Structure 1
């Protein structure tokens, strides 16, 4: 709906002409043109004209109304922001599902394995107009894991004596137990377990798992760790065999 014209001005083109403009203008340019035109038409000035003075004011009001938008109606509400597909690191590793609300609808979407934070999940014809939606993905820290890019991060309690003397540490990861060797008094208490990050997907490479060794007096000693691994291998069933 266009702004209503004023009785003294029949059209936008006429309004622009009255202000000495040859095309659309707004803001400072429109104000400057109005001031120059209305000053020249003032009836109390030599060469002024009362009828033209009124038309210039009407033209100014019409162009202002058009610059504000359709009539005095409030601006349309902005579209609702798209929901974020929030998944855990384990769901990013193995794939998973998420429930979303879009435009008053509740949808269950499938997230393929290997999605990274900042990527977008495409939902075909899920928009109100039938268009595809591209929803941002965010991997939130959970289950002792966090994700950054292609890689995963976790901490593992480690006996202070093992950190001082060096040796083998066994770490319980999402893929099962893994061993790593650390040097005596290693300056950086972090080890990298290759290939245990997010899986390769498209142009993204296989990630790694970075484990920060956290000194803890409650962590099992080297002897206790060895006993646990020995017990795991030599179960009663194997000994009976």
Structure 2
């Protein structure tokens, strides 16, 4: 005799109990009971878990099929995992819209400002039996920015001479140019620009932008840049005049 798996529902009585029912009900009441039960059983709910979620769906199918006993043939088949919504750091900063392919349809989903990786976007009534679907969010590195928690990270090339001697540095950030002062021989080579990370959202704090300074001999120092500009303007012909 085959052992019964956790995701099987053997009888209509058990199916009704899983949906919080004592027996057959009208279609509208059955749908309402299923929506409430599957929402409470969803893995993202406080008291939910994957096994209970599967069993509620199996119970719904059994009741819809009538009196035919349901023992899921072979291993239990979980509902398809919701697609991951992959966005870039600028989407997390500014919000906007993203197109997601779901059940053969393309949906334009609103992105609020300040999304973090691991959060979920709720699609009301888009699941089985009109249940809600929760799409996990993943923020991928893009546009020279990386995200970790509330904070943004980027690299910025700096003339080696400036790092050795110290001086003023201009950094192009997503929020515009920002100035910083480099101390001679500064280590570690990372600056924190306050409040330029992900915006505050719910219980999450305003993040910061961390800039890793990358020594480079391929870009001029501030003094060398001024000298180049001077020589471009004051050519020998102009000096002779």
Same fold judged by TM-score > 0.5?
yes
SS at match of 1:129: helix
Change (3 A) 1:71 1:82: closer
In structure 2, the residue matched to 1:190 is 190
| 1:127-168 Cα distance to aligned partner (Å, 9 max, x none) | 132111111111000000000011000000000000111111
Query: Separation in 1 of the partners of 2:131 and 2:71?
Result: 31
CA distance in 2, matches of 1:74, 1:179: 64
Match of 1:127 in 2: 127
Relative distance call for 1:72 and 1:113 in structure 2 (3 A) is: closer
CA contact (8 A) 1:170 1:225 kept: no
Question: Which one has a bigger Cα radius of gyration?
Answer: 1
For 1:179 and 1:210, locate their aligned partners in 2 and report how far apart those are by CA, in whole Å: 14
Corresponding residue for 2:107? Answer: 107
Write the distance in 1 (CA, Å) between the matches of 2:102 and 2:219: 46
Q: 1:118 to 1:210 in 2, by over 3 A?
A: same
* Distance in 1 between residues matched to 2:199 and 2:172, nearest whole Å: 19
- Residue 93 of structure 1 contacts residue 199 of structure 1 at CA under 8 Å; is this kept in 2? yes
Other-structure match for 1:159:
159
In the other structure, the counterpart of 1:181 is: 181
> Matches of residues 187-226 of structure 1 in structure 2 within 5 Å?
187-223=187-223
Considering only aligned residues, what root-mean-square deviation do their CA atoms show, in Å? 2.5
Corresponding residue of 1:32:
none
Corresponding residue number in structure 2 for 1:146: 146
The answer to whether the Cα contact below 8 Å between 1:87 and 1:139 also exists between their aligned partners in 2 is yes
- The two structures have a TM-score, normalised by structure 2, of 0.62
Using the alignment, how far apart are the partners of 1:220 and 1:83 within structure 2? 46
Give 1:220-239 correspondences, 5 Å limit.
Answer: 220-223=220-223
**Which residue does 1:94 correspond to in 2?**
94
Q: Map residues 71-90 of structure 1 onto 2, 5 A cutoff.
A: 73-90=73-90
TM-score by length of 1: 0.62
Kindly state the Cα deviation for residue 218 of structure 1 after the two structures are TM-superposed.
Answer: 1.8
Aligned in 2, Cα 1:141/1:227: closer, same or farther, shift over 3 Å? farther
Shift of 1:74: 3.4
Structure 1 alignment gaps of length 5 or more: 4-68, 229-241
**Shift of residue 120 of structure 1?**
1.1
Q: Deviation at 1:220?
A: 3.1
User: 1:18-41: per-residue Cα shift (whole Å, max 9, x none)?
Assistant: xxxxxxxxxxxxxxxxxxxxxxxx
Supply the distance in 2 between the matched residues of 1:150 and 1:224 (Cα, whole angstroms): 37
Structure 2 CA distance for partners of 1:160 and 1:74, relative to 1, 3 Å: same
Hey, what's the Cα distance between the residues in 2 that align with 1:153 and 1:90? Answer: 12
4+ long deviations beyond 6 Å? none
Structure 2: gaps of 5 or more residues: 3-68, 229-241
SS of 2:129's equivalent? coil
